[in-house]
Structure 1
Amino acid sequence: MSDKFVPYHLCDINNPPAHLDGNQKLNWIRAAKKAKKNYQYQQQHPALDIPTSFYEIIYVNKYTTTETMQKLINHVRNCNEFTFDTEDEKSTKQLALIQIQTIPQ
């Protein structure tokens, strides 16, 4: 990292780097404003910390038992809200992960 690097939230928004052209300056100013606002939010609001006793991580793969799968099915039947997040392997475009978060009733 360069010694000249200054985090956006510490930059003077009205003084973008001189080497930037018009569009680049606008993008830099927009990014600096957003970073400054995010930094202010971080200072005002503590990070959400959920105790591990409130959730359970279960990895499902070809070795997952029928008993575990039945437990998951029963859990999902008692949920009314879900979030799904998928990740894929960029080089092969193969699905690598499906993350499901549930909120029981």
Structure 2
Amino acid sequence: MPTDTTSNYVFYRPSDYYNQLKKSLQLIQQYARDQSNYSHKNNKKYYDKNRSNPHYEINEKILIRIHGLRSKLDPQFTLTPKIFIQKTTSNILGVMPSHTSSSSYTSTNSNRDSSSKSQNRHRRHVRLEEQNNHYRRNYRPFTIPSSFYNIVHVHRFTSIDTISTLINHFESCYRYSIDTESDRFTNELSLIQVHSIPQHLPSFIVLFELNHLPSSNTLLFEKINLLFRFLFRLGNTIFSWDR
């Protein structure tokens, strides 16, 4: 910091202290701005090093990345290829659907176009979607009678009796499947879904709402903590998966 060095000042008037403080603050603010600019330049250098810079020829077919809110299984790119027809600026491409005339086109950023690896992922997604449609047409949906399981939401308003019932069930159950969900805005873990797999039905589907748990100094919180100790005890079999 520019003010880390030790200095002795003698003030003869009350305004001298204010003027010196103002100068010191200006030095600190300028130092903070310089460090921020330096950090931004370094981050940009590392980002640009791994950033792709694709080039396309006129009439070449390309896929356009779909931006915005999507679910897990929605395609990342357009299902039909577009035809590259002209480059309007340094960052804008003119494209049109491959089945329309060349008189109409839309614009999109060039860095949104897919690489060959992305195109392979897109084709694989299309094949999976066709396979799923085939299954839907030829096979009846798999359903589980509601009498085979119970759904319980665990939060600050869950009763002690309900948690005690879960504790008794978890104490005699040794196999579970677990899935998690994150908050769509903060990407922090917000929900844990636990499905017990007991030897005898019914099973329990327990939804732990992490953003709405009780205070840590309550009896309810201690009971929930005991549930997790039974869930992750040594010898249990836990099934989980990822995208």
CA 1:67–1:28 in structure 2 vs 1: closer, same or farther (change >3 Å)? Answer: closer
2:176 to 82, 86, 94: 82
Q: Which has the larger radius of gyration?
A: 2
* Cα deviation, residue 101, structure 1: 0.4
CA 1:67–1:47 in structure 2 vs 1: closer, same or farther (change >3 Å)? Answer: same
CA 1:45–1:79 in structure 2 vs 1: closer, same or farther (change >3 Å)? Answer: farther
CA 1:22–1:91 in structure 2 vs 1: closer, same or farther (change >3 Å)? Answer: closer
* Greater relative CO (CA pairs within 8 A, separation 6+): 1
2:68 — aligned with what? none
Unaligned stretches of 5+ residues in structure 1: 1-15
2:157 — aligned with what? 63
CA 1:77–1:37 in structure 2 vs 1: closer, same or farther (change >3 Å)? Answer: same
* Cα deviation, residue 18, structure 1: 6.0
* Cα deviation, residue 81, structure 1: 1.5
TM-score under structure 1 length normalisation: 0.66
1:73 to 164, 167, 172: 167
1:34-49 pair list within 5 angstroms: 34-49=128-143
Cα distance in 2 for partners of 1:93, 1:26 equals 28
TM-score under structure 2 length normalisation: 0.32
Calculate the aligned-residue CA RMSD, in Å: 2.6
CA 1:43–1:69 in structure 2 vs 1: closer, same or farther (change >3 Å)? Answer: same
CA 1:31–1:59 in structure 2 vs 1: closer, same or farther (change >3 Å)? Answer: closer
Cα distance in 1 for partners of 2:132, 2:181 equals 26
Question: Number of residues paired by the alignment?
Answer: 90
Q: Percent identity?
A: 32
Is the deviation greater in 65-74 or in 18-27? Answer: 18-27
Unaligned stretches of 5+ residues in structure 2: 1-79, 84-97, 99-113, 200-243
* Cα deviation, residue 104, structure 1: 1.0
